[in-house]
Amino acid sequence: MLSADPRMSASRDEVETALEAVRDAMNAVSVHYADGGIAYEHTALQADGDALIYRLRQGLRYRELVQAGSIPWSDFHTRFNAGE
């Protein structure tokens, strides 16, 4: 479980800057693997930050399995019809 120090605060601009950096990184991954980006700034999530971290860890593990040859590189494109 993630925790935050309630004594620390961030301005709205600082939060937006951090979110923009995360969106840029996630779009770089999407462009690389799925040949297209996602308009994350126009998406509302029903989950919290812990769920995001969980999904990111899943993606990292998936990449490890692809690099190890346990999953073929084409699996993502085949399974999710990426790029269509």
13 phi, psi to nearest 5 deg: -65, -40
The predicted structure's pLDDT at residue 29: 87
Which two three-digit tokens encode residue 13?
């601009």
Determine, yes or no, domain membership for 49: yes
E strands, the chain, are none
Q: How many separate domains does the chain show? A: 1
Structure tokens at 8: 């620390």
pTM above 0.75, yes or no: no
Q: Is residue 3 part of a domain?
A: no
Neighbouring residues of 19: CB distance < 8 A, sequence distance ≥ 6: 41
47 lies in some domain: yes
Q: What is the pLDDT along the chain (84 residues), one digit of tens a residue?
A: 556 666 678 888 898 899 899 989 988 888 888 777 777 777 776 788 888 888 889 888 988 998 999 988 888 777 776 554
Domain-located, residue 19: yes
Residues spanned by the domain of 38: 12-80
Find, among 44, 7, 10, 39, the residue nearest to 26 by Cα. Answer: 39
30-45 pLDDT per residue, tens: 888 877 777 777 777 6
Question: 34 with 82: CB under 8 angstroms?
Answer: yes
